[in-house]
Amino acid sequence: MTKKIINFVLSITLILLPIMKIPICFGISSSFYGAKIILLYGSASILLILLLINYKDLSFDKADLLLLSFLILVCISTFFSLNLRVSILGSYDRFEGMLTFIAYYIIYYSAKYFLKFDKKFIAYIIAISIVISLLAISQYFDLFFTSEIFSKEAIGGATLGNQNFLGTYISIILPAIMCLYIFKGNKILLVPNALLFFTLLITLTRSAWIAFFVCSAIGIVYIIKSKKKEYMKRFGILFALFLVTFIVFNLLSPDAILGRYKTSKDELENKDKAGSGRIIIWKGAFTIIKNRPLLGSGPDAFVYGVNTYDRDYLVNVLIPSLNAIPDKVHNEFLQIACTIGIPALIIYLFAIALILINLIKKDIHKNTLSFILLLCIISYLSQAFFNISVLDIAPLFWALLGISSRKENA
């Protein structure tokens, strides 16, 4: 009975987190994370209680212990943080402090040992991704008052609040739907494939585009090595579908892709502004790493670290260049290194490497679901080099890590 409750609570959390959003109407708060943080903390608390009730049945393998060691370093870093409150609760409207990392680990562990990762669960995830995509497209083209309902400041972000975050979400879901069509041949999957690819384009998020190309390259190699004609045929159909979708998007929004290209070109000519100012932010991260390499500035306390060790850079370079106070590093790996410490980053990467090796050992040419999980994780990691972790998408990634580290075939 306990296992069923854990599966239910976890499933609801992973399915609903991305779409949870209190609409901006009748004076209700415009925060994109108000309802989500309540759902995340509430669910994690219930899961933790249920796990503790059955503590005698709990077991930990190498991946579990590595990520638990990472969590312990998060807690130690919090204790020595430059801003204790921020590191416990997270920075304003990000909420990715110690409590959130604890929730991530609980979700990882629960997903690994209790989540029923079946067709029904996958169908719900796809259904929610379709709804989010439709909302994002409506918002991008200013249809049905969606800009007023969600936010005029985050066009194309829908319930995720920012087009970059939407790009992250698509980076996890789209590779899975692409593979499901190629491996299973269900023609109805062409609809979400086209819809999510169109949504990926409207995000104008280069990190998500990079992740898409990385996954596509790996997928092509996999298909060629499989030597299965039906896979090659379906890949050709998918390629044609994406090409038509790309053309349609350019007809509807002719300046979008060209404008992104010009922006990228301008940034390359001014290296400090490359990646929408990411290089400038990364320099601030290295300042913290230089001064606090072991424990960092504390979870989510990036700006406090820069302010402490190079206030002049923060005030005269970072803020004026970005026209905002940077709350994250815009590189998940650097974010961990400068806020939690280099040892934490090493353990985190080692744990992920172990999980990926676990998937590969399951013979991904016979176990296609293991390959799908592998591709989704690689896709997330590819975009994470230029993006930030957010509390409504990160739990899905941690759940994927849990599912992927199961000893039995996924």
Q: What is the pLDDT of residues 142-191, one digit of tens each?
A: 776 566 565 544 555 677 878 899 999 999 999 999 999 999 999 999 99
Q: Please tell me the distance from the alpha carbon of residue 314 to that of residue 280, in angstroms, as a whole number.
A: 10
DSSP for 88-103, written as a single string: HH-STTT--SHHHHHH
What residue type is assigned to position 194 of the chain?
Answer: A
Nearest to 347 by CA among 60, 61, 68, 59: 68
C-beta of residue 78 within 8 angstroms of C-beta of residue 97: yes
Q: What is the pLDDT of residues 192-225, one digit of tens each?
A: 999 999 999 999 889 999 999 999 999 999 999 9
Query: With left for phi above 0 and alpha for psi between -120 and 50, is residue 117 left, alpha or beta?
Result: beta
In a 10 Å sphere around its CB, with 0-12 CB exposed, 13-18 middle and 19+ buried, how is residue 46 labelled?
middle
Structure confidence at residue 256 (pLDDT)? 72
Structure confidence at residue 259 (pLDDT)? 65
What is the 3-state secondary structure of 7-25? HHHHHHHHHHHHHCCCCCC
Structure confidence at residue 57 (pLDDT)? 82
Here the tokens at position 410 are 């996924």
Structure confidence at residue 24 (pLDDT)? 46
Structure confidence at residue 26 (pLDDT)? 41
pTM over 0.75: yes
Q: Distance from CA of residue 133 to its chain's centroid?
A: 16
Averaged over successive runs of 10 residues, the pLDDT of the chain (410 residues) comes to 90 93 52 83 96 88 97 98 95 90 98 92 95 89 66 62 90 96 95 96 92 95 92 96 95 77 59 66 94 96 94 88 85 97 98 94 86 96 93 96 81
pLDDT averaged over the chain?
89
Structure confidence at residue 27 (pLDDT)? 43
Q: What is the pLDDT of residues 343-376, one digit of tens each?
A: 999 999 999 999 999 999 888 878 899 999 999 9
